[in-house]
Chain A
Amino acid sequence: MIDRFHYRQDREAYSAARVKALEALLIKKGVITDRTVDTVLDFFETRMGPFNGAKIVARAWVDPAFKDRLVADTPKAIAELQLPEGMAGAEGEHMRAVANAPDVHNLIICTLCSCYPWPVLGLPPYWYKDPTFRSRAAREPRAVLTEFGLAVPDAVEIKVWDSSAQIRWFVVPERPAGTDGLSEAELEALVTPEAMMGVAVARAA
């Protein structure tokens, strides 16, 4: 991470003490319980996370009709799958998927904040929240993708989607070549959060 300013030497230790003091006071004052924060974190470990998105994408790869339904009505198609309860829950109430194609590459950004589809992707990684990414992806997506190690040919149109209202977006990457014999579970392992936001593509292992 690039630090452009001067920070106190004990930056992390100080924040750690401060957040622990805040959590302790909130428990003492009856705002939250001693289990609340762990309950939230556990939910994102086990129920809402990129493991759900990977299942959705793998299904779209093996079932082109499902992929069409997913792009046409994202929540309805997701509801067909046996995913944990809550796929239309917090930050996933209204989702929209866009699919890459040989001539189109999609990239999801949020120039105002960090809108992200929690149920299917979990929480946003640091790159997505980076002000430099949020600025540059709107004007020079190809240059930005190159910095992620992804060269998108000039002939491929890039569509950049800025999530400024209440719809949360994700990308269905293309199925990589050389994966014909793989099971759906094996395909899931090839799907990364970065591929589902468009700063990467899925690659055969």
Chain B
Amino acid sequence: MKLQHYLGGLEGLGPVSTETRVFVDVWETRIFGIHTAMMALSPQLPLPETPSTFNTIWTWADLRKGAESLNPFDYFRFRYYEKWLGGISGYFIDNGYITAEELDALTEEYYSEPSKPLPGAGDEAIDQRVVQYLVEGDSPKRDVTVTFEFKVGDTVAIRNVPTVEHTRLPGFLRNKFGTIETVYDGAYTYLCDTGPDGVGAAMPVYCVRFEPSDLWPDNAEKNFSLYADLYAHYVEAPEAAEASKAA
């Protein structure tokens, strides 16, 4: 169990942050830009070839896996873009683009001389592809035939699939029951194969309604509903849940 997957409903946390800024320090904008460029230059996308030397896959799933693999106490210790900076630097080192030694050495240089300029270089085609990615996106929807096991109004049980490195199933919904609110058209892939967790291939997605008093017995606010978009693999018929419990 990874605490990062079980945030919903934790108690004793104190007040929320009401900070409306997107970036709280200027350096954060740079790591956001680097991440977005990596997404756009990732080689599995059907976009024009460029002279960029980036030739390994980078998607949201890779960023999320990095954050979810952190010791949970570090996860809460680091600010949002600090986690990105750590994860993305590690990725470039692990994949042989740069070495830890050269990154450390250059960090020292910029630390003692913050105004030292960046080097100038690069082919315009790289930046054109980045803009093309932002404009066109990367739709996960696939035109394949799938079976819709459930319809609006059906009661469903939420499975408790094995958590490995990454999941799209929030922990607080596992083993609960809900009601189908929407059956989305078509089938949706996920960015990577999550192994025994079960998403990746194109499958239906349902919006499921949950009753807060079932999620948090005697401990939920009144007059609210919680909805979650869930991949079909995470959802099963209540009878199937009963049968696997009895087995």
Residues of A within 8 A of B (CB): 1-2, 4-5, 10, 12-41, 43, 47-48, 85-86, 88-94, 111-114, 122-127, 129-144, 147-148, 154-167, 193-194, 199
Contact = CB atoms under 8 A, between A and B. Distances in A.
B241 interface: no
- Which 7 residue pairs of A and B lie closest in terms of their CB atoms, listed nearest first? A33-B122, A37-B33, A21-B106, A138-B8, A17-B111, A165-B229, A126-B19
A31 B53 contact: yes
Contacts of A86: 134-137
B32 A123 contact: yes
6 contacts: A15-B27, A23-B118, A24-B119, A37-B29, A126-B21, A147-B15
Contacts of B53: 29-31
Q: Most A CB atoms within 10 A — which of B13, B20, B126?
A: B20
Contact of B37 (A37, A137, A138): A37
**Majority secondary structure, B binding face:** mixed
Given A1-B19, A32-B126, A140 B221 contact: yes
A167 B34 CA distance: 24
A125 B21 contact: yes
B76 A4 contact: yes
What band does the interface of chain B fall in when counting residues whose beta carbon is under 8 Å from A? 35 or more
A138 B67 CA distance: 21
A199 B14 CA distance: 17
Given A43-B131, A127-B17, A157-B225, A139 B220 contact: yes
Interface of B: 4-5, 7-11, 13-22, 24-27, 29-34, 36-37, 39, 41, 51-54, 60, 64, 67, 75-77, 79-80, 82, 85, 88-89, 92, 97-98, 102-103, 106-111, 114, 118-124, 126-127, 130-131, 133-141, 167-170, 172, 184, 188, 190, 205, 207, 212, 215-216, 219-231
Contacts of B67: 113
Contact of B130 (A29, A36, A158, A199): A36
Contacts of B123: 33
Contacts of B4: 112
Contacts of B120: 27, 34
A82 to B, nearest CB: 16
A35 B127 contact: yes
Contacts of B134: 40, 43, 47-48, 86, 89-90
B196 to A, nearest CB: 18
A139 B219 contact: yes
Given A15-B85, A138-B8, A167-B229, 10 more contacts: A17-B111, A19-B30, A37-B37, A40-B37, A40-B130, A90-B133, A112-B7, A136-B10, A157-B223, A166-B140
